[in-house]
Structure 1
Amino acid sequence: MKFVDQVEIKVRSGDGGRGLVSWRREKFVPKGGPAGGNGGTGGSVYVEADENLYTLLDFRYNKHHEAEDGAPGGKFNKTGADGDDVVLRVPPGTVIRNADTGAQMGEVLNDGDRLLVAEGGRGGKGNAFFKSSTNQAPRFAQPGEDGETKTIVLELKLLADVGLVGFPNAGKSTLVSSLSAATPEVADYPFTTLNPQLGMVYLNDFESFVMADLPGIIEDAHEGKGLGLRFLRHIERTSVLLFVIPITATDLAATYTKLRRELGAYEAALLHKPHMVALSKIDVLAPDERALLPDIVADDFPDDVPLVPISAVAQLGLDDLKRRLYRHVKEAKDVALP
């Protein structure tokens, strides 16, 4: 299924039903008086998070959504039926914006969260409503209020515990497929990962976390080059960042610095997220060189940044990586609690 993370759609809430001008005419009831009912309320449009969804693909091909109008008031003071609401189901982590102003209307983060995006019009009052001691026979009723028509943007930002950060061909897709049941495309060419992939990583039956394999970043991604903006948007909500840097890179420290610079240029707050560095593709080294690798490169990285040598292909260092990532995720979530 194709991953779609941003769409623009039009929504319209229902108009309120018109009030009715009617008179009570029954046998043996002289001067029955006004009996026109109120109109029903128009249906509203809501956006609701559904944990069973992970893409906005349905909205790519269905861009118009209209709620039902309220029914007009009836005779004998009967209120018209309310119009049915429309509920647009989206993946958790979806932000809703007004397309015309760019203002954020809200977001739905957890399963079942619901946001009102277009409120239905109120029904008009029938003539019975306006009866008073000074106006025994009102001959007018209100029309229903118009519904709202809006163009909105749905923007999905993935909710993951760990986000993989790296240049194309760093080994991120191979890593997430080795640690979880996710099956991202793996190949030896840039931008293999065109769409984000989520994988559940299990330490045991009671400890797990969600890992996101995101499109590879390139220099000047914060300016929209490559797939950078899509990458950076999704990484905002991750708890922990894992920089994946292959030891075959010309300069490990310079690669780390460039990746950090791109994150900071997009959103300075990303630089304060907890993070680790996975030194990938260590299977190209001899066993004795692997053991010494963290000590050899330690001086090139800040002292507080954990370095974990791994090889997803050869299954080296993955258990240690999972344990350390889980500990970081748990600590980050504990800090985030109010």
Structure 2
Amino acid sequence: MKFVDEAKIKVKAGDGGNGVVGFRREKYIPQGGPDGGDGGDGGSVFLQGDANLNTLADFRFVRHYEAERGQNGSGANQTGKKGDDLFVRVPLGTVVHDQDTGEVVGEVITADTPLLVAKGGWHGLGNARFKSSTNRAPRQKTDGTPGEERRLLLELRVLADVGLLGMPNAGKSTLIRAVSQAKPKVADYPFTTLHPNLGVVAPEPHRSFVMADIPGLIEGAAEGAGLGHQFLRHLARTHLLLHVVDVAPLDETDPVESVAIIEDELVRYDETHDADAAERQRWLVLNKIDQWPEADRADAIAALTTRFRTELGYEGPVFAISALNREGTAALVWAIMEHLERERASQDTQPKPAVPVNPPPASHQHLEWTED
């Protein structure tokens, strides 16, 4: 299925049920008094994370979602039934924007915590609520308030631990095929990867991480050239970026110059999209070393590494691999695994920020009436 990472939908929470005016009328009780019941609250709309979904494609066919309305009250002090809440399933990593205000409503990170996107209307009050010592036969009632209605933009950001960066044909798809069970399309022409591919890399049982193959970048990507700029948003959730470099490109471009172009595009993307992709930790992966004669391979790797460090000021680790032959990939995978486990351990020891509790909108506040 084609990867779809944006969708526009409309959600409507249920309206609150109306209160009613009623009076108790029973045989031998001529002055029964008011007994009109309250309405029921309207159902709310939630977005529920689902780990089995990895695309927003379903929202191309169904774009309007509405929760159930609360039932009206009735006589004999009977309260109307509350409307059922509506839970809309979305992939984990979905960021929700309000189309009209531009605000970020929230993010769906886990399957255990649904995100409220439209609050149901409050119930109306029946006339029994208005009875007092000075108003023994009230005929007042209130109607339920309307449920929230919103136009939402859903944006899916890939939940991956490791993201692959690089020019088209750098060998990113081949690498993810070599180290995981993912089977992205591989060919010898640019832009083979048209959408992000996810692969679970497991060096041994119960130890794994998720790798994302991002479409290749070209010069001018920050302004919309090529395909990769559409998916740079997915780098927002990665803990580590692997910059895959073709050491022997068919067009004989300079690998160091190619890396410099990508680095510049990340900086420009951050400036125009208020992101921090350029600040994320990156490792250099020199791919396709099988194109060099084996006798000269060690010297060529050392010379290219020296250029990266002197000309670009790169200080991180450098891995030399052949993704096609799986040469050097095991060492790379284990280095990533150990790095991520250290990162996870350090995050677990840090205190978790408190989650703010937002009060209900003013339109949903109402006065609770009590008898005198």
TM range (shorter): over 0.9
Q: C-alpha distance in 1, partners of 2:222/2:345?
A: 30
Which letter does structure 2 place at the counterpart of 1:237?
A: R
Larger deviation, residues 38-47 vs 106-115:
106-115
> Secondary structure at 2:268's aligned position in 1?
helix
Q: C-alpha distance in 2, partners of 1:43/1:36?
A: 22
Q: Which one of 264, 268, 276 corresponds to residue 269 of structure 1? A: 276
Matches within 5 A, 1:162-201: 162-201=162-201
Shift, 1:336, TM fit: 4.2
Which letter does structure 1 place at the counterpart of 2:103?
A: A
Q: C-alpha distance in 1, partners of 2:239/2:204?
A: 20
Q: C-alpha distance in 1, partners of 2:342/2:42?
A: 47
Which letter does structure 2 place at the counterpart of 1:86?
A: L
Q: Percent same amino acid at aligned positions?
A: 48
Is residue 240–residue 332 contact of structure 1 (8 Å, CA) maintained in 2? no
> Secondary structure at 1:77's aligned position in 2?
coil
Shift, 1:65, TM fit: 0.5
Which letter does structure 1 place at the counterpart of 2:266?
A: L
Q: C-alpha distance in 2, partners of 1:34/1:111?
A: 46
Which letter does structure 1 place at the counterpart of 2:140?
A: F
How many residue pairs match? The answer is 338
Shift, 1:270, TM fit: 2.1
Q: C-alpha distance in 1, partners of 2:299/2:111?
A: 46
Shift, 1:310, TM fit: 1.0
Instruction: Give 1:290's aligned residue.
Output: 297
Counterpart check, 1:300 vs 2:332: no
Long gaps (5+) in structure 2: 351-372
Instruction: Give 1:109's aligned residue.
Output: 109
C-alpha distance after superposition, 1:289-313 (max 9, x if no partner): 2233331112222352211111111
Instruction: Give 1:332's aligned residue.
Output: 343
Counterpart check, 1:215 vs 2:215: yes
Which letter does structure 2 place at the counterpart of 1:313?
A: L
Is residue 290–residue 309 contact of structure 1 (8 Å, CA) maintained in 2? no
- TM-score for both structures, normalised by structure 1: 0.96
> Secondary structure at 2:170's aligned position in 1?
coil
Long gaps (5+) in structure 1: none
Shift, 1:335, TM fit: 4.5
Cα 1:207–1:288 change in 2 (3 A) is farther
Q: C-alpha distance in 2, partners of 1:293/1:175?
A: 21
C-alpha distance after superposition, 1:272-303 (max 9, x if no partner): 22221111111112222223333111222235
Instruction: Give 1:156's aligned residue.
Output: 156
Cα 1:100–1:85 change in 2 (3 A) is same
> Secondary structure at 1:236's aligned position in 2?
helix
C-alpha distance after superposition, 1:208-255 (max 9, x if no partner): 111001111111212222223322111111000000111114212111
RMSD of equivalent CA atoms: 1.4
Instruction: Give 2:326's aligned residue.
Output: 315
Q: C-alpha distance in 2, partners of 1:298/1:214?
A: 24
Q: C-alpha distance in 2, partners of 1:32/1:287?
A: 100
Is residue 13–residue 44 contact of structure 1 (8 Å, CA) maintained in 2? yes
Which letter does structure 2 place at the counterpart of 1:292?
A: D
Instruction: Give 1:278's aligned residue.
Output: 285
Is residue 214–residue 228 contact of structure 2 (8 Å, CA) maintained in 1? no
Instruction: Give 2:86's aligned residue.
Output: 86
Q: C-alpha distance in 2, partners of 1:301/1:99?
A: 44
